[in-house]
């Protein structure tokens, strides 16, 4: 699709760039879920991290949703952070310390 077509459905320039990076990765290197299913979580995360626009949250959600990994926790998920903060009374001022406490 053209950038103009993608912009017309509300995607930002950066989102368009990231989507095209993913498409190029799939086209040139492949992204076979059956093959990835055989890999350890950390290997899949490392592969996905090599695609510009895919960060830890996206990669963790790929593991959970596309590969059905039930042993994955996404400490970068804002909703989970808010719930954990409320349930356990954890302060979120220092993101690094907060993330350590979550884990």
Structure tokens belonging to residue 70: 């039930």
User: Choosing from 71, 76, 77, 97, which is the catalytic residue?
Assistant: 77
- What single DSSP character describes residue 56? H
Q: Give the separation between CA 72 and CA 49, rounded to whole angstroms.
A: 16
| Residue 71 annotated in active site | no
Q: What Rg do the C-alpha atoms of the chain give, in angstroms?
A: 17
**Cβ-proximal residues to 63 (8 Å cutoff; 6+ apart), any chain:** 41, 44, 45, 69, 72
Q: What residues are labeled active site? A: 77
């Amino acid at each position: 699709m053209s950038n103009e077509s993608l912009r017309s459905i509300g995607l930002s320039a950066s989102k368009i760039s990231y989507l095209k990076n993913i498409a190029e990765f799939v086209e040139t290197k492949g992204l076979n879920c059956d093959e990835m299913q055989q890999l350890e979580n950390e290997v899949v995360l490392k592969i996905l991290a090599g695609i510009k626009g895919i960060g830890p949250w996206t990669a963790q959600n790929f593991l959970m949703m596309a590969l059905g990994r039930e042993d994955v926790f996404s400490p970068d998920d804002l909703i989970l952070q808010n719930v954990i903060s409320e349930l356990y009374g954890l302060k979120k001022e220092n993101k690094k310390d907060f993330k350590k406490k979550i884990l």
